[in-house]
Structure 1
C-alpha cells in the first residue's frame, strides 16, 4: 500500500479535518421508511399518495440504476418520527 506524505511542517488539508456533510452509510433516519417490492411503473407521486394516509409525507425517493430504471425499492420520509412509527405499528398490528 502506498502512502502519500505531506511535506515536512505542512498543515493537514481542511478536507481531511472537516466532518462529512452526508450521513454515514447506515445512519438511522427516524422519520424515513424503506419501501421494497415496488413495480417498475410506480412513481414517487404514487408513493406519496399511498403513504399520505399515514401522515404528512415530506419526500419520496425511488432508487434507480444508471439507465434510470427502478431498482424496485425506495424511501418515504414523513414530517415526524411519530408518523413513520404509526405506519410501522399499523402494518404489524
Structure 2
C-alpha cells in the first residue's frame, strides 16, 4: 500500500493534506506544492481515497484521520508479521 517506490510521494501528500486541514486541497494545489505532474498527483490522491485514507467532496481532498489512526494501529500491532504463520 505505502511501501513501494512511490510511497514517499503518498506520505508527502498525506503530510501536506494534514497541514491543510480543515479546508483540504485540490489535486492541482497538491501537484503544484509537491512539484508533481497533475495526472500523477491525481492518481496518488485517487488511490489514497480508495484505500479510505482520504475523503473528498467536490474537488478538495482531506485526510480521514479516523481511518489513518485505524491503519496505524494495525501496523503498530504487527498484523502483517502474523500473516502466513
Task: Specify if TM > 0.5.
Answer: no
**Bigger Rg, structure 1 or 2:** 1
- Normalising by the smaller structure, the TM-score range is 0.3 to 0.5
Tell me the TM-score normalised to structure 2 length: 0.34
* Bigger helix fraction: 2
Higher relative contact order (CA 8 A, sep 6+): 1
* Bigger strand fraction: 1
